């Protein structure tokens, strides 16, 4: 290969460029990024940036030193694959030929219907704009009590805003964790002085707030929408690549066209739906840890050293003074085991199938998370009784 293009200027794209150079690729390397900024880290957008602790969460990467040509403010708009290998990436300013392609275009936030102003937090500009509105006394309404909604509500409440969170489900985080576990986080909102309204559906965003499906109205000076994202893959329409909810890849992150593997095209990050051998299903993991680590595998695959990417999914969130972490994948697990009482502050929940630990959620129990992630990765059998005792370290709950 002599010409590799990385489509996407986020963490996954940057790490892919780094990995390619580290693994010996010496040819031309171009990164196409839709934002005008140089690449930066996204998790701080709803944390340090909103709090005013930083204006630019820079990544520790010198792309110039890696001889990467960066086309900032340029968006991928289409893809034409050549027979066999290579093709052309269409952008907002022209066409770029390649013989190797990394697709890392991320995801786009879902927006609510309506003509009123609504904000999302996906980019640095988004976060800086929202930060300007988080002033004492401002009526801030957040649509969605998920991970992002809770983090934004945390900062808005600390800034003295009058915060209301509107959630269509019956509990926060119901989509991610289920209503039973999500309900355990509901008291956190009240403690922070945030009004949480669950089971409330939004009809549209209006100029002065939210119009609700039941005819009600929630007044707002600032509306922030946090109801999820969709993989940024519409630009691949007509390309021939296999795309459903994300770019479909095999376990080595190779994309395919009409069912045939394309060894010259890999996908990583929020836009990649990769096959997990560990869980026997396709995963679309829209979290920082996957964007950080999967590019190492993608680069090796693109350079002809295909190997499976089978890391244990992981993410974390800071909300209402609590450190929440999750590792694994619990969909399809047979049972749930609790470690500790939520009333005591620090607690955890584990999911198992048979004697296999599938996933763990921890609240202010970071040691549980670290040990459980290792157990999940190794596939070591666990003793459910020992696992349910919060006084016993997870590493000592392994079965014989």
| 47-88 per-position pLDDT tens digit | 999 999 999 999 989 999 999 999 999 999 999 999 989 999
The pLDDT score that the predictor gives to residue 126 is 97
CA 8, chain centre distance (Å): 15
Parent domain of 388: 321-396
On whether both 240 and 104 belong to a single domain, the answer is: yes
- 310 within domain boundaries: no
| pLDDT tens digits, 203-218 | 999 999 999 999 999 9
On whether both 80 and 139 belong to a single domain, the answer is: no
- Integer CA distances (angstroms), 72 to 8, 78, 99, 188, in order: 10, 17, 21, 40
On whether both 284 and 372 belong to a single domain, the answer is: no
What is the b/e burial string over 32-53, where b = at least 16 CB atoms within 10 angstroms of the residue's CB? bbbbeebbbbbbbbbbbbbeee
| pLDDT tens digits, 232-287 | 999 999 999 999 989 999 999 999 999 999 999 999 999 999 999 998 999 999 99
With cut-offs at 50, 70 and 90, classify the pLDDT of residue 351: very high
The pLDDT score that the predictor gives to residue 358 is 96
The pLDDT score that the predictor gives to residue 187 is 97
The pLDDT score that the predictor gives to residue 84 is 86
- Examine the pLDDT at 318 and tell me if it is beyond 90: yes
Query: Looking at 223, 243, 270, which one is the last position of a domain?
Result: 223
The pLDDT score that the predictor gives to residue 400 is 59
Number of domains in the chain: 3
On whether both 118 and 77 belong to a single domain, the answer is: no
What is the percent of the chain with per-residue pLDDT over 90, rounded to a whole number?
A: 96
- 313 within domain boundaries: no
Instruction: Check if the beta carbon of residue 226 is closer than 8 Å to that of residue 149.
Output: yes
- 312 within domain boundaries: no
């Amino acid at each position: 290969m002599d010409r590799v293009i990385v489509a996407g200027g986020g963490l996954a794209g940057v790490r892919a460029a780094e990995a390619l150079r580290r693994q010996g690729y010496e040819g031309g390397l171009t990164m196409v990024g839709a934002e005008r900024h140089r690449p930066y880290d996204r998790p701080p957008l709803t944390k340090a940036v909103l709090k005013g602790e930083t204006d630019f969460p820079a990544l520790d990467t010198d792309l110039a030193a890696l001889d990467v040509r960066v086309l900032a403010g340029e968006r991928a708009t289409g893809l034409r694959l050549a027979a066999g290998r290579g093709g052309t990436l269409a952008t907002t300013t022209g066409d770029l030929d390649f013989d190797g392609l990394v697709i890392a275009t991320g995801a786009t936030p879902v927006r609510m219907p309506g003509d009123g102003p609504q904000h999302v937090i996906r980019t640095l500009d988004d976060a800086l704009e929202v930060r300007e509105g988080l002033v004492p006394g401002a009526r801030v309404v957040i649509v969605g009590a998920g991970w992002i909604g809770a983090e934004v509500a945390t900062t808005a409440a600390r800034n003295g805003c009058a915060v209301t969170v509107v959630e269509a489900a019956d509990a926060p985080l119901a989509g991610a964790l289920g209503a039973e576990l999500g309900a355990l986080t509901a008291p956190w909102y009240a403690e922070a002085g945030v009004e949480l309204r669950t089971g409330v559906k939004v009809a549209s965003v209006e100029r002065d707030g939210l119009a609700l499906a039941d005819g009600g109205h929630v007044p707002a000076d600032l509306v922030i929408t946090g109801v999820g994202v969709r993989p940024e893959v519409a630009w691949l329409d007509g390309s021939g690549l296999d795309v459903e909810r994300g770019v479909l890849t095999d376990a080595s992150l190779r994309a395919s066209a009409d069912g045939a593997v394309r060894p010259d095209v890999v996908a990583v990050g929020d836009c990649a739906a990769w096959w997990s051998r560990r869980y026997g299903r396709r995963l679309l993991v829209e979290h920082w840890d996957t964007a950080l680590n999967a590019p190492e595998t993608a680069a090796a695959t693109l350079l002809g050293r295909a190997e499976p990417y089978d890391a244990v999914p992981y993410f974390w969130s800071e909300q209402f003074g609590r450190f929440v972490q999750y590792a694994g994948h619990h969909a399809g697990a047979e049972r749930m085991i609790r470690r500790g009482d939520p009333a005591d502050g620090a607690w955890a929940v584990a999911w198992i199938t048979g004697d296999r630990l599938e996933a763990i959620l921890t609240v202010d129990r970071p040691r549980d998370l670290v040990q459980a992630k290792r157990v999940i990765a190794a596939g070591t059998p666990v003793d459910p009784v020992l696992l349910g005792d919060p006084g016993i370290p997870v590493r000592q709950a392994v079965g014989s």
